Amino acid sequence: MKENINITQDWIENIIQNFISQSPLNSLQNGTDEPAWDQAQVGFASGTDQIWQQYKEYIGAFHWTPWEVFNQHCPDENVSADQLTVISWILPQRKLVRKTNRKEKTYPSEEWARIRVFGEEFNMALRRNVVESLEQEGHSAVAPMATPNWTIVKSKRFSYASSWSERHAAHAAGLGTFGLCDGLITAKGKAMRVGSVVAKVSLEPSPRLYADHQAYCLFYADGTCGKCIDRCPARAITTQGHDKEKCRAHLVKSRKYVKKTYDFEGYGCGLCQVGVPCESGIPVKAAREAYEKGELPPPPPPLA
Ligand code: SF4
Ligand code: SF4
């Protein structure tokens, strides 16, 4: 490895945006020139952020902190948590892809299913590219989702959960909050995919411009909306939240449909991510305005 150079947030963001604009893997793979993704939203969280321990306590002991996953895969580095930064990115679904899936009532559009498979293959290549780019400059890094021991674990509280959650990493990095359907609502909406890398670099963390972890969802903000409940063909969303088992069973069924209808090995759904107020932006006005100004939202008015 070379001597460390000064890695900045801009340097990392450029690596990500350049890979998106230049990699031939960024493709719907449908015989057209259509890319899978346009540009990413990028955020940063410190390895010392208390939120990692809170996730561990809330999700389960199996859920890794950045320090745990980094040390499992780079044990010779002997780092402390304050030397680590989590780099997280959002890949917002393109307008064309959202539009086609909005028309669907039971199974995904062809474009959406292609993103689920080929868009995610690109996302995995992007994780590797970020790791390799950092390593070339002398900074060890790990993509938790690309590690061989990343796993899904049965959980009493959540049916199942995983040893690293990309959505939770994005929330920690200031990129969004959770909605009634469990999706992460970002400044570019809930229709998106997400990725992350844990790196041995010290960077200023991104601010979390939200009052709590559900602040961008209308249902949690003021009890309205619930549109994702109506969009779900599997009745997996209720006012109590998201039933992962029902959702997963529907995704399994979608494989047969995708093969028969679009003639490739794929799957998906995402109907709750489109045709809803949080599809492509923050639907809660005060939270959106605060985000646009780069400020924390004002506290809610006191109850009468
Ligand atoms: S559709 Fe409405 S209730 Fe569902 S996550 Fe979006 S804002 Fe929340
Ligand atoms: S909750 Fe699952 S099954 Fe229901 S619309 Fe969303 S992705 Fe589809």
**240-247, long-range: CB within 8 Å, 24+ apart, which pairs?**
241/180, 241/181, 241/182, 242/180, 242/181, 242/182, 243/159, 244/158, 244/159, 244/160, 244/182, 245/159
Q: Does residue 109 lie in a domain region?
A: yes
pLDDT digits 0-9 by tens, 228-274:
999 999 999 999 999 999 999 999 999 999 999 999 999 999 999 99
Q: Does residue 128 lie in a domain region?
A: yes
Q: Which residues line ligand 2 (CB under 6 A)?
A: 181, 231-232, 234, 236-237, 242, 247, 250, 269-272
Write the residue with the smallest CA distance to atom 6 of ligand 1: 278
* 295 and 198 Cβ atoms separated by less than 8 Å: no
- Quote the ligand 1 centre to 16 CA distance (angstroms): 29
- Quote the ligand 1 centre to 142 CA distance (angstroms): 33
pLDDT digits 0-9 by tens, 200-221:
999 999 999 999 999 999 999 9
Q: Please state, in angstroms and rounded to a whole number, the distance separating the CA atoms of residues 86 and 248.
A: 28
Considering the chain, what is the average pLDDT of its residues?
95
pTM: 0.95
Index of the ligand 1 atom closest to the CA of residue 272? 1
Q: Mean per-residue pLDDT for 94-101?
A: 98
Q: Does residue 302 lie in a domain region?
A: no
Indicate if the pLDDT at residue 171 is higher than 60: yes
What type of residue is 263?
D
Q: DSSP per residue over 25-65, as a string?
A: T-S--SSSS--S----EEEEEETT-THHHHHHHHH-TTSPP
Residue 197 token pair: 């890398």
Containing 153, the helix (H) or strand (E) segment is strand 152-155
pLDDT digits 0-9 by tens, 38-47:
999 999 999 9
Q: Does residue 298 lie in a domain region?
A: no
pLDDT at 303: 54
Q: Is the CB of 176 under 6 A from ligand 1?
A: no
Q: Does residue 300 lie in a domain region?
A: no
Index of the ligand 2 atom closest to the CA of residue 273? 6
Indicate if the pLDDT at residue 74 is higher than 90: yes
Q: Which of 220, 239, 240, 276 to mutate to test the pocket of ligand 1 (most atoms within 8 A of CB)?
A: 276
- Quote the ligand 2 centre to 232 CA distance (angstroms): 5
pLDDT at 297: 83
Q: How many domains does the chain have?
A: 1
Ligand that lies nearest to the alpha carbon of residue 219, given by its number in the listed order: 1
Find the domain containing 95 and state its range: 9-293
By CB atoms closer than 10 A (0-12, 13-18, 19+), residue 29 is middle
Q: Is the CB of 283 under 6 A from ligand 1?
A: yes
Q: At 302, is the pLDDT very low, low, confident or very high (cuts 50, 70, 90)?
A: low
pLDDT at 2: 53
Q: At 50, is the pLDDT very low, low, confident or very high (cuts 50, 70, 90)?
A: very high
Q: Which of 101, 181, 193, 274 to mutate to test the pocket of ligand 2 (most atoms within 8 A of CB)?
A: 181
Q: Does residue 179 lie in a domain region?
A: yes
Q: At 223, is the pLDDT very low, low, confident or very high (cuts 50, 70, 90)?
A: very high
Q: Does residue 3 lie in a domain region?
A: no
Q: Does residue 81 lie in a domain region?
A: yes
pLDDT at 154: 81
Q: Which of 238, 250, 274 to mutate to test the pocket of ligand 2 (most atoms within 8 A of CB)?
A: 250
